Structure 1
Amino acid sequence: MKVWRELLILVLIFGLIWLAFTWRPLSLPDSEFRLSREREKDLAELIMDDLEDEFVFYPDSTVEKVLSPITSRLLDSLREKKYEYKFHLIDNSREVNAFATIDGHIYVFSGLLKFADNPEQVAGILAHEIGHHENGDLVDRLMKELGLSVLVAVLSGGDAVMISEISKILISTGFDRKQEREADEFAYDLMTRVQINPARLAHFFTKLKAEEKTYPDDLEIIATHPNSKNRIEGALSYQLPEGFEEKEFEIDWKELLEKEL
């Protein structure tokens, strides 16, 4: 009889536990699963320090002269900014690239500026990188790759090896196709609002494709980053608002780059 009573008690206990989880599911604060803005800022500074050890950067005065006319026009048209954006210019003519890290940091290689035919093309690339920030892709990517516990541990210990690994993750092209497509769509919308035709991005990628700076079309099936062909088609097919007129930057692009870079 005693055995049956104890068994009944156990059944009741397990039943109560089941009801507790059924009617009041276990929930933890969202902050436990997210990288706080304060931690994001701290990690962004560690990443920047790591990148400064790897690359040579132009001074802020050069960034102001070359990029600010473009970035200020883009940022002034953002309805609501999630970040205070910081743009950095890397002295590397071999790399036709730009990338975003976290906390509003965007890095541009001088090779991309010299490859672009005009500031409107650069505006399109930067609008795309801003889109990754505004869409939350960068923190999501780190959380997916490493998890919150690893990121917090890195911040606590300042592990140089792990910080370098995080930098490599963010520099590499690891966004999924949906994220890339949404960042492109964000760029098209922002470009249109600042009176830049999204076709400028198509011109950039057409040139990139012609010079074989990207992978062949037949490798798209194994790539996470949309290839130039799709990006060209996307930019050219974007529906411009009625009465749209492009307003070009009043910049002699080649002369500016020759003088500053």
Structure 2
Amino acid sequence: MSEQDNSMTNSALNVLNRTRIVMVHTSHSGNIGSAARAMKTMGLHHLVLVEPKQFPSEEATALSSGATDILERAVVTDTLEEAVADCDFVIGASARSRNLPWPLVNPREMATKVLALPEDAKVALVVGRERSGLTNEELARCHVHVNIPANPDYSSLNVASAVQVLCYELRMSAIASQEQEKPEWGVEWDQPLAKGKQLEGLFDHWEKVLVDIEFLDPNNPRHLMTKLRRFVLRALPDEVEANILRGMLSHIDKKLRRN
């Protein structure tokens, strides 16, 4: 632990400790090592890799420049859904605008939102492929998108460099929070936030019911489920609220079976 880490309060360190970096389908193992180095310099320790092309690798170890403990503890998953299943708040890095608008923040605003979450909320910062970033489907699993306002004439940002920027802003906000009042989302939570796995179950159930009542045409779904995702994720529901919605869907299921 650095001298600066020693000077940080437990609350500020907690923000860094409960935030994971998720790298999706990384092609170049050197980027994994460089990202691990970026994380460690900013005090983050949890790395999750979704179907990396090659890991572990000597190149990743070499470019980590001593952050081998991050690589040794890294978790490898088959899907993004697995990687964020136990997370309460998921942020997807997006380098370009999407056809369907989504809550979009810059890295500093992203850090402010993370600091305003309940102190036990698990956070995932998700970065995508080197060439194409995250798919629309992957971004739809995120509560908000974060965009680094790079030079528009040359906005090509290496994935490890993006990790460095995001981790830096989170660390600086954590340090600043020691001398400021905690920012507010406008509500006080009385229940834990709904985790990724619970929300995915809700969305799957919701889609099934909408197909059963012929409100959703599976052959021509358009953006219906994506917009419902955006609506629910923007509301940041807690576990009880998500269970209420799931219970309503179960009741509709029962009524449909009776008829």
Q: Please classify the TM superposition score into its range, dividing by the shorter chain length.
A: under 0.3
What's the TM-score, normalizing by structure 1?
Answer: 0.26
| Greater helix fraction, Structure 1 or Structure 2 | 1
Between Structure 1 and Structure 2, which shows a larger proportion of strand residues? 2
Larger radius of gyration: 1
Identify which of structures 1 and 2 has the higher relative contact order when contacts are C-alpha pairs closer than 8 Å and 6+ apart.
2
TM-score (ref. length: structure 2): 0.26
